[in-house]
Structure 1
């Protein structure tokens, strides 16, 4: 049996003599009844619960029997046999949502509604409404719905709080519809306020709580004791699929950004500083003379980007935005996303041992050059592949470094050689082909009818660089290495 040595802890007590009169003055009044010592969250729940809804989503999917894919059955039953005909099925999902505006705007998770054909919202008072999607953003995993109600209908709402004001240890309540059993309230505390690298969305920045969150709670409310929304419940960490006391909520300040977009055109405009970054590891921190790792190193600057114009330099370490600590790139992306384009923010940097505050005006990601999606149709190995020019906005949308330049694979026809051999994927960035540098789609089009026996090319895939050769026989040889 494992035994742990328990250190001896010595506590030194300081005894202070207090005059009897002072003792009498500081004595507390004895509670006179149960009501004076009762601790309850009931007033908060009564205020918030009517605005937390159940969401039922359904969509039609076309499926066919897996037996029909077997050549044996196709041979004997024929291709037109009814058993193999596609059939429609209904896929259903359930979750929760939060009413945030009296005219019937509901915030939930994108993964709750998916690609639903029908969305039904049920209030705690059993009223039911169909809902339409105003915005569903997969990158933040947030969606905004509008209830289809009679004009003049007013709904209860949960007022929006400030997730930046939340502290570790604050008591919170999670309200939702776990397992579809009906509205349920659980309590806990804020366990962490800037949990990143969870991997459930591009903007992986969460509040962590030990309030019980289970399947069906997604999209529900995480509220403080003042009854204000601090987060939208989104995910759990569990080995069984049920609550293990580690739940994650999307901060309400991100919710505000998505709400603003949903009610002003339905498109989220993402900001950028015009820089590429790398994490500050312990080794890098030591090399830079920093007292601890953390923050993001400016690795590269766009020539005329917001950061360069404001005076940031390559090698600067960004440690805060408007006074909010930035520990990694996920935190930086979150901070930039919670301000509207045109906002003036203070970027705190470390430069050669000095801490500096630099004002920067945020700008939306540029969409130049135009993508110009083009499908190659020549006799080269890229036939059937759709390429596009990379702009910072498209690069960011594809999860690439916004400063990445060149030509990106947008789609691969399943019948194309590249798909059948598996050497090109959407998101790959082609840098060189047949000995020619590739800067635009036009460069690839110019190679359409190039005679070839073997075709060397280089591409970037995530954090890897691939050097490949495709032979006319169909053979492919690829070697990879880090970028």
Structure 2
């Protein structure tokens, strides 16, 4: 056994010696294995030329001359000499960002960047400056589509990506012009999708990212790793005014719908499903015996509308549209708004404890009944209120629920009968003393009976309220 151990030791020593005596190859003769590139420079070089700066000039009208001295020559002389121009119209400039999405100069930006602008200039990273005009703008989505007047020149552009494919954790970069410093790139990840609790715009459906987004980034690009545009940066949540890792972008699928319609010369009209809904809360889930707290409860179905024709009923709980979950009315409206009129969506819903799939063909919202805007007469208990009949198209225009009928309150004079009754702008009058109110004419025929109280049912911000006139 000792000889065997010694032999093994000698063998190992010889092997080590042979290894030590073997010729050594120079390090430079063996190329190192390439490391995976972590640089975002190629992605930035590809996409940054399509992100532009937008300069919007706005005229601030001063009405002091016409309010007090009717713009007389004396007033203008007094204003321009003794008051050094006090009272003249002022010009303000706002700075933002935009994204070229077509080589012919179609640009997407935020509505608030170009709101009330009297002139718009677009500056490309290469130094070219062009004037631009608004093709379509929409305050509800905080989006606007511009057309650069480039004389037919082909401009760098970014292709739309599918924002529905984004997942929390995906890497993204944000490009814009924060604080007017010039084009800046920040990177981060998608923190959340379908974020609906942040109150910017009407649809409240956002991509949340921790990529730094600061003032001036509004309208800039949120770009995925494949180089496609997946969002339009729109807002930050901050207590200091600077980035705190809470940036929000409008999904590209919403912007794509607006661009497609704008380049065809179409006015902005969103498709219509013809129902109203509310979030499922624990009390509703327990009352209806629902299996979970997910989905939205259908509260009204517009007679003759797409949902009614497909067989939806009040009490149904919509769980998903085309396999995308919906948990609040904003998410439902977003999913409908990103579809084209005439297309068909498949709803997954729960009814009486059973699950169903129903196909609904979306339509353009009808403009009937006519608005018939009117002030309520002095003999009416609602005097001092300006009202209009609510059609589905008008409801979509003002951001009201398009699944119900009624009369919408557009204005209320302070101190008038309608004001004392508790009516406010945006209220939708549904019925009076149990009688349905569908048009202004229905409301004009309403008269009070002496010594008898009247009960008015109205909807305000999704809640049903009752006003009583004694």
For 1:159 and 1:211, locate their aligned partners in 2 and report how far apart those are by CA, in whole Å.
Answer: 21
**2:393 corresponds to:** 393
Give the unaligned 5+ runs of structure 2. Answer: 1-29, 69-74
The reply to whether residue 44 of structure 1 matches residue 43 of structure 2 is: yes
For 2:330 and 2:233, locate their aligned partners in 1 and report how far apart those are by CA, in whole Å.
Answer: 19
Q: How far 1:212 moved relative to its partner? A: 0.4
Q: How far 1:32 moved relative to its partner? A: 4.2
For 2:88 and 2:405, locate their aligned partners in 1 and report how far apart those are by CA, in whole Å.
Answer: 44
After TM superposition, the structure 1 = structure 2 runs for residues 83-102 of structure 1, keeping only pairs within 5 Å, are 86-102=87-103
For 2:290 and 2:431, locate their aligned partners in 1 and report how far apart those are by CA, in whole Å.
Answer: 39
For 2:381 and 2:316, locate their aligned partners in 1 and report how far apart those are by CA, in whole Å.
Answer: 43
Normalised to the residue count of structure 1, the TM-score between the two structures is 0.80
After TM superposition, the structure 1 = structure 2 runs for residues 85-234 of structure 1, keeping only pairs within 5 Å, are 86-150=87-151, 152-234=152-234
- Aligned CA distance change for structure 1 residues 111 and 357 (closer, same or farther; 3 Å): same
For 1:290 and 1:432, locate their aligned partners in 2 and report how far apart those are by CA, in whole Å.
Answer: 30
**2:312 corresponds to:** 312
SS at match of 1:36: coil
For 1:422 and 1:111, locate their aligned partners in 2 and report how far apart those are by CA, in whole Å.
Answer: 35
Checking the alignment, whether the CA contact within 8 Å between 1:407 and 1:431 is kept in structure 2 is yes
Q: What is the aligned counterpart of 2:456 among 442, 455, 458?
A: 458
Q: Give the alignment's Cα RMSD to 1 decimal.
A: 3.3
Checking the alignment, whether the CA contact within 8 Å between 2:413 and 2:419 is kept in structure 1 is no
The reply to whether residue 298 of structure 1 matches residue 298 of structure 2 is: yes
- Aligned CA distance change for structure 1 residues 456 and 355 (closer, same or farther; 3 Å): closer
For 2:381 and 2:87, locate their aligned partners in 1 and report how far apart those are by CA, in whole Å.
Answer: 33
For 1:292 and 1:420, locate their aligned partners in 2 and report how far apart those are by CA, in whole Å.
Answer: 41
Checking the alignment, whether the CA contact within 8 Å between 2:384 and 2:419 is kept in structure 1 is no
- Aligned CA distance change for structure 1 residues 244 and 106 (closer, same or farther; 3 Å): same
Q: Relative to structure 2, which stretch is displaced further, 315-324 or 277-286?
A: 277-286
Q: How far 1:401 moved relative to its partner? A: 2.5
After TM superposition, the structure 1 = structure 2 runs for residues 66-85 of structure 1, keeping only pairs within 5 Å, are 82=79
Per-residue displacement from partner, 1:60-115 (whole Å, max 9, x unpaired)? 112378xx99xxxxxxxx9x974697421112211100000111000001011111
Matched positions, count: 428
- Aligned CA distance change for structure 1 residues 375 and 145 (closer, same or farther; 3 Å): same
Checking the alignment, whether the CA contact within 8 Å between 2:133 and 2:148 is kept in structure 1 is yes
Q: How far 1:355 moved relative to its partner? A: 2.6
Checking the alignment, whether the CA contact within 8 Å between 1:433 and 1:455 is kept in structure 2 is no
Give the unaligned 5+ runs of structure 1. Answer: 1-30, 70-77, 470-476, 478-483
For 1:388 and 1:359, locate their aligned partners in 2 and report how far apart those are by CA, in whole Å.
Answer: 33
For 1:326 and 1:412, locate their aligned partners in 2 and report how far apart those are by CA, in whole Å.
Answer: 35
**1:429 corresponds to:** 428
Normalised to the residue count of structure 2, the TM-score between the two structures is 0.82
For 1:316 and 1:433, locate their aligned partners in 2 and report how far apart those are by CA, in whole Å.
Answer: 27
Checking the alignment, whether the CA contact within 8 Å between 2:236 and 2:246 is kept in structure 1 is yes
For 1:112 and 1:422, locate their aligned partners in 2 and report how far apart those are by CA, in whole Å.
Answer: 39
- Aligned CA distance change for structure 1 residues 288 and 442 (closer, same or farther; 3 Å): closer
For 2:380 and 2:303, locate their aligned partners in 1 and report how far apart those are by CA, in whole Å.
Answer: 35
Q: Relative to structure 2, which stretch is displaced further, 115-124 or 86-95?
A: 86-95
After TM superposition, the structure 1 = structure 2 runs for residues 242-321 of structure 1, keeping only pairs within 5 Å, are 242-321=242-321
Q: Report the structure number with the largest CA radius of gyration.
A: 2
**1:441 corresponds to:** 440
SS at match of 2:91: strand
Q: How far 1:293 moved relative to its partner? A: 1.2
For 1:422 and 1:221, locate their aligned partners in 2 and report how far apart those are by CA, in whole Å.
Answer: 48
